[in-house]
């Protein structure tokens, strides 16, 4: 039986991939994004969800500019917390499922081991805090919910680290990249199948979903340069040298434990995903 899916944040990097994927799988899709749908208007969001009558809401909309959030905490809270709250209230009122995308930035990165789903969030930044608040709103308001944390997202639609390095490496002889922040880079398209798998199940709860393995941003940049064959040297630097407004977790690798236990598989290694992504023609 096909599902009626409401994708909030349908024009984003993950949203565009997921909408295509759902349609290929013959699911019915209703797409929401700015300017027509402003998720910070909670009442409009709830009324809209009642009108759509979805079986599942994929809530992907967020303000993901980490430094931007640090400079404007009230905007960050209205998008990342209020938006999630409105979606979860609408889901609860209509009795549909809700899948909320979250982030490794809900953790402080001080752990010496990979983060499990049951580990307590302790965000360092406004972005991380407002996403953790969104998680709490979803858990509190909507019993039929999945919270999915991912990290280092890149893909064809929207600005991302991989594309930035690919572009700069073609123009510069050397690039400085931080070597003391470690996570799992994740190809947006690789999330689509597991997100659909989750949404078709009644296995609610918190999930970590990333490509397998992990690396520093410096190692990721080095791999981009190696695969593309650019004549560019990547130089490792400390985070302190870059001096960004928002603090970042130094080790925020997510262990994909719950998904592996409940569905019996994990996403492919980040190196394989990256190689495939870079072999495709860039999307303008």
Q: Which residues pair with 6 in a beta bridge?
A: 30, 57
User: What pLDDT is recorded for position 193?
Assistant: 97
The C-alpha atoms of residue 53 and residue 186 are separated, in whole angstroms, by 31
Helix (H, G, I), strand (E, B) or coil at 215: strand
**Quick one: how many helices (H) and strands (E) in the chain?**
12, 12
User: What pLDDT is recorded for position 120?
Assistant: 97
The C-alpha atoms of residue 69 and residue 55 are separated, in whole angstroms, by 32
User: What pLDDT is recorded for position 280?
Assistant: 87
User: What pLDDT is recorded for position 283?
Assistant: 57
Q: Which residues pair with 205 in a beta bridge?
A: 146
User: What pLDDT is recorded for position 281?
Assistant: 66
Does residue 178 contact residue 242 with C-beta atoms inside 8 Å?
yes
Report residue 257 as tokens. 């434990």
Domain boundaries of the chain, sorted by first residue: 4-159+187-211+253-267
Q: What angle do CA 100, 83, 194 make, to 5 degrees?
A: 15
Is 127 considered catalytic here?
Answer: yes
**Per CATH, domain 4-159+187-211+253-267 is 3.40.50.720:** yes
Instruction: Return the residue matching tokens 């280092």.
Output: 152
Spans in the chain with pLDDT lower than 70: 281-284
Q: Which of 100, 105, 115, 127 is catalytic?
A: 127
């Amino acid at each position: 039986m096909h599902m009626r899916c409401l994708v909030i944040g349908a024009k984003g990097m993950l949203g565009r991939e997921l909408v295509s994927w759902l349609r290929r799988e013959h699911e019915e899709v209703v797409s929401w994004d700015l300017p027509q749908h402003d998720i910070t208007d909670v009442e409009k969001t709830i009324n809209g969800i009642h009108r759509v009558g979805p079986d599942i809401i994929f809530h992907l909309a967020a303000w993901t500019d980490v430094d931007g959030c640090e400079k404007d905490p009230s905007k960050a809270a209205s998008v990342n917390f209020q938006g999630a709250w409105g979606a979860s209230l609408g889901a609860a009122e209509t009795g549909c499922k809700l899948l909320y995308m979250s982030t490794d930035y809900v953790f402080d990165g001080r752990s010496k081991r990979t983060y499990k789903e049951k580990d307590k969030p302790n965000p360092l930044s406004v972005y991380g805090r407002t996403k953790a608040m969104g998680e709490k709103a979803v858990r509190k308001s909507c019993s039929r919910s999945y919270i999915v944390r991912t990290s280092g997202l890149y893909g064809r639609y929207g600005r991302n680290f991989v594309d930035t390095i690919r572009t700069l490496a073609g123009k510069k002889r050397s690039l400085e990249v931080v070597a003391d922040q470690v996570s799992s880079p994740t190809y947006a398209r690789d999330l689509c199948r597991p997100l659909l798998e989750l949404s078709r199940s009644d296995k609610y709860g918190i999930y970590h979903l990333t490509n397998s393995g992990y690396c520093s941003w410096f190692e990721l940049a080095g791999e981009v340069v190696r695969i593309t064959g650019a004549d560019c040297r990547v130089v490792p630097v400390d985070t302190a040298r870059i001096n960004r407004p928002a603090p970042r977790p130094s080790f925020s690798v997510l262990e994909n434990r719950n998904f592996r236990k409940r569905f019996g598989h994990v996403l492919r290694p980040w190196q394989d995903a990256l190689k495939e992504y870079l072999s495709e023609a860039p999307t303008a």
